[in-house]
Amino acid sequence: MKKIVVLGSINIDTILNIARLPLPGETMAMHDRSIAGGGKGANQAIAAVRAGAETSFIAKIGKDHAADFMIDTFKNDGLNIQNVTEDNVAGTGKAYILLDDHGQNSILIYGGANQTITVEDIKNASETIKSADCLITEFETPLEASTEAFRIAKANNVLTILNPAPAKQNIPEELLKLTDIIVPNETEAQAITGIEVVAEPSMAQAAKKMHAMGVKNVIITVGANGSFYSQSEKSGFVNAYKVNTVDTTAAGDTFIGYLASKLDSDLSNIEEAMKFASKASSITVQTQGAQNSIPYVKDVEI
């Protein structure tokens, strides 16, 4: 069984259903409102464990009811949460999701306890990282913590996957050089490289620039169109599965969790892993919400 560690965020998602995204200064009525578990880190960890991997989570929560709700969710999925700790001051992270009738979303984030993860917290989880096959992180937690985690991982031959989300410019050079696979979407790829990603030639151009920054392997996800990969000796495109999209929340996180669960350490099966991840994501987008929409491996067939 693959052993995966995720360093990342925990949020409680408040989903606001609207006909379309509001214009500046506009007041709109909502169709509906709901609350669910979320956070990119938590979503990725749940995706990995539901994909069949032995998964550990490094994260921080507040001392509040939101934290209790999330811990119960993690326990129900069998996630190892020995490195999920409490912050005595900051509350559990929150996300406010504007979801339109076409399944597209815009998201506002309150970082809360997610932003209090320290290098010391990472050092306390070092044995968990050292024993893993793969470590995943994203940008909803402090960069210093992510970099320390990747240092420990690479010193122990652990595969590192960086999801550079939310989009960020000027990613530290050290973090990129410690990254085995970077997995941005088209918006994030443009933020990193300055190249507008609109078709496969521009994907290749953006990937080439990321290679020059020190990243050996690049996967760019482009939503309903699919995903592009680039390695030193080969590149290719994997088409997405065509489905009726209800909500794209957690689709990218599902992709990454399932990808990590399937990838061989030498990445020789990268296309197979991407197809598997794409299939899982196609199931996620057919249900509203984040963690509740992430499928179990028994429901993912390719």
According to the annotation, is 39 in a ligand binding site? Answer: yes
According to the annotation, is 247 in a ligand binding site? Answer: yes
According to the annotation, is 13 in a ligand binding site? Answer: yes
According to the annotation, is 157 in a ligand binding site? Answer: no
According to the annotation, is 185 in a ligand binding site? Answer: yes
According to the annotation, is 66 in a ligand binding site? Answer: no
CA–CA gap between residue 289 and residue 267 (Å, rounded): 31
Q: Vertex 242, ends 239 and 243: CA angle to 5°?
A: 145
- Each as own residue / partner, the long-range contacts of residues 87-92 (CB below 8 Å, 24 or more positions apart, any chain) are 87/60, 87/61, 87/62, 87/63, 87/112, 87/113, 87/116, 88/63, 89/116, 90/60, 90/62, 90/115, 90/116, 91/62, 91/64, 91/66, 92/10, 92/11, 92/12, 92/61, 92/62, 92/64, 92/66, 92/67
According to the annotation, is 214 in a ligand binding site? Answer: no
Instruction: Look at strands 159-163 and 181-182 and give their pairing.
Output: parallel
According to the annotation, is 289 in a ligand binding site? Answer: yes
According to the annotation, is 170 in a ligand binding site? Answer: no
Instruction: Look at strands 226-230 and 235-239 and give their pairing.
Output: antiparallel
Residue 180 annotated in active site: no
According to the annotation, is 249 in a ligand binding site? Answer: yes
Strand runs labelled E in 87-150:
93-99, 105-110, 134-138
According to the annotation, is 43 in a ligand binding site? Answer: yes
According to the annotation, is 62 in a ligand binding site? Answer: no
CA–CA gap between residue 5 and residue 59 (Å, rounded): 11
According to the annotation, is 253 in a ligand binding site? Answer: yes
State the number of CA atoms in the 13 A half-sphere of 184 facing the CB: 28
3-class DSSP state for residue 25? coil
According to the annotation, is 12 in a ligand binding site? Answer: yes
* Residue of 121, 133, 180, 253 marked catalytic: 253
Residues tagged in the binding site annotation:
11-13, 39-43, 140, 185, 221-226, 247, 249, 252-253, 284, 287, 289, 293
Annotated binding site for K(+): 247, 249, 284, 287, 289, 293
What residues are designated binding site for ATP? Answer: 185, 221-226, 252-253
**Active site positions, annotated:** 253
